[in-house]
Structure 1
C-alpha cells in the first residue's frame, strides 16, 4: 500500500507499507540521496513475512517533495521526518533498520525518541561524531566520481554513473576481493528507481545538508534499546573500524560480521542479512535462545 504523507508545510513523502499488517512494524531508513526503493525487493519481502514493513523516500529523493533548493535543511530534519512517518501511520513503536546515513538517523531516534524504537539495526553506518570519512584513503577514481555527482547526463549515462558508483561502494580494494560485483543487478535496481521517481537527474541535496547536531556520540552510552551492528569489512566508507566503534557506543549492542560485504546490498548478502535482522527483531525470549 502506498501513501503520500504531509510531514511539514509543502513537504510530502512517499511511503509504502508491505508485509504482514498485523505483525510488529519495521521501519527501513535508507542512506543519503537514496530512494526507499534502494532496499532490495527480496530483502523487503523476507522481512515482510514477519513484519509490517514501512519504507519511504526521503525528501528530495524518489517521489517525495524536492525542497532543498528553496528551503535548505539539516540532516537532523531527516530524522524528524522518520518520526513523522511513524506518526502519520499511527505507529507507536517500531523496529528500525538504517543503512548508511539512515543509520545515523536511527542513532538520532535512539537519542531523542527511544520510546519509539523497539530495536535498532545498523548497516554501513558511522557513529555520531565518531570516525570521519578519510577521503585521502579513497581510490582516486572514487573522489573523481563524486566530483561528477549531479552533473547533467542523459538517462543511460546517468545509469552508467550510478552503476559505477555502486561498484566502488561494493568493495574496498584494500580489503581483498570481497563479493563479486554484478553490474546488471545494480543496473536493474537503478532503472527501477528512475522509473519510480519519474526523472533520471541524480538527487544531491543530502550532500549539502547541514550537519549541526550530529556530534552526539557520547550520549549513545545511555541507550538501552537492543542494537545490532552489521560489520561490512569491505565497506570503503564505513568498514570494520566504524562498525566496532558503533557497537561499543550504545549500552546494549551486538556486532555481527558479514564476510565480504561492502557499502551495498547485493543479492549475495540478502539471505544472511534478513536472517540477522529477523533474529534481532524476534521476541526477547527467542533472542535469548
Structure 2
C-alpha cells in the first residue's frame, strides 16, 4: 500500500494491515542501499510473524515504488567521495536523517507508537538515526551488516569497490541483470552461496518491480554525507544488537565491531562465512540472536 509519510509517498507492506495483529508489537524493517522491501527474505518475515510480531517494511525514498527524487539531479559520486576523504562538507540531495523521519512517519500513519527497528546495511544506518532521533519510540535496535560511518573504518575490498563504481557500457535490461548478479556474487556469503538461477531470478523480479539506479546514487551520497553519526551513537540507550558477517567484503567486520563499541551495552554477534547478503543459512544465524533480543526488549518494555 502507498502512504504519505513525512510529506512524501512511500510504499509499505504491513503484515497487520487487516487488523488481525492489533496489539502485536511491531518490527520495522529497513532495507539497504538501492534495495526494495521485497529484498527481505520471505522466510525471515514469516519467522517474525510466527514469533508474534507485526512486521512493517517499506521502500526507502527514491527506490522501488516509493517517490523518486529525480528532480534533485544526479550527484557526482566520485567528487563527493573525494570531499569526504578530505574532510570537506558533502552536499547530498537528502540525508539519512530525512530517511529516518520517513520511517517514523510510516509508524505515525500506521498508528504505531513504538517499534523494534531492524536495519541491514544502509538500513542499519537509518535505524541508528531513528534511535537517535526518537529514542522513546524505539523498543530495540538491531543493526545488521552496517556501520557507524566513522572515517577511519576500512572500506570495501578493492574488487568490490571497482564493481560498485563501474557502469557497464551495455545499458540493456539483460546486461543490468547480469551486472547485478556478478556484484551480488562478489559480496555474497562464501559459506552460504545461492545457486545461480535463484539469484538471477531474484534480481530479474526486483528489476521488473522497479529499476532506478539514479535513486541508488542519491542514497549513496546520503550515506557518504552522514559524517557525525559515529560520535552521536554514544547517546543511544536503546537495547541494541549488532550482527555482522566476518567475511563481509563490502562493509568489513570491523565496521560491526565499531558500531557495537560505540553503543553502550550493545551485543555483537559475528557470523563466520557470512558476507553482505541474507541467504537461507545466514537467516538462521540472524534469527538465532534476533528473536531473543526482541523478546527481551518486549518483556522489559
Which range, TM-score by smaller chain? Answer: 0.7 to 0.9
**TM-aligned CA deviation for residue 161 of structure 1:** 1.2
**Any residues of structure 2 matched to 1:1-289 within 5 Å, and which?**
3-9=1-7, 11-18=8-15, 21-22=21-22, 23-49=24-50, 50-70=52-72, 72-129=93-150, 131-134=152-155, 137-139=157-159, 142-149=160-167, 153-171=171-189, 177-197=190-210, 199=211, 203-204=215-216, 205-209=218-222, 211-284=224-297
Q: 1:159 to 1:202 in 2, by over 3 A?
A: farther
Larger helix proportion of the pair: 2
Runs of 4+ in structure 1 off by over 6 angstroms are none
8 Å CA contact 1:121, 1:228 repeated in 2? yes
| 1:213 CA displacement | 4.7
Return the alpha-carbon distance in structure 2 between the equivalents of residues 281 and 134 of structure 1: 30
TM-score by length of 1: 0.86
Distance 1:70 1:128, change over 3 A: closer
Deviation at 1:60, TM superposition (A): 1.3
Name the CA distance, whole Å, in 1 between partners of 2:292 and 2:223.
35
1:174 counterpart residue number:
none
Equivalents in 2 of 1:31, 1:40: separation in Å? 13
What is the aligned residue count?
275
The alpha carbon displacement at 1:190 in A equals: 1.7
**Pair 210,281 (structure 1): closer, same or farther in 2 beyond 3 Å:** closer
TM-aligned CA deviation for residue 187 of structure 1? 1.7
> Quick check: 2:168–2:179 contact (8 Å CA) kept in 1?
no
Q: 1:131, 1:242 within 8 Å by CA — same for their partners in 2?
A: no
CA RMSD after TM alignment: 2.4
> Does the 8 Å contact 1:150/1:202 carry over to 2?
no
Q: 1:44·1:53 contact (CA, 8 Å) conserved in 2?
A: yes
Post-superposition offset of 1:203: 4.3
Cα distance, 1:92 vs. partner?
0.6
Gap runs ≥5 in structure 1: 172-176
Where structure 2 has 5 or more consecutive residues not aligned to the other structure, the ranges are 74-92
Q: Is the 8 A contact 1:35 1:193 kept in 2?
A: yes
Q: Is the 8 A contact 1:152 1:201 kept in 2?
A: no
Task: Report the TM-score when normalising by structure 2.
Answer: 0.82
1:14 aligns to what SS in structure 2? strand
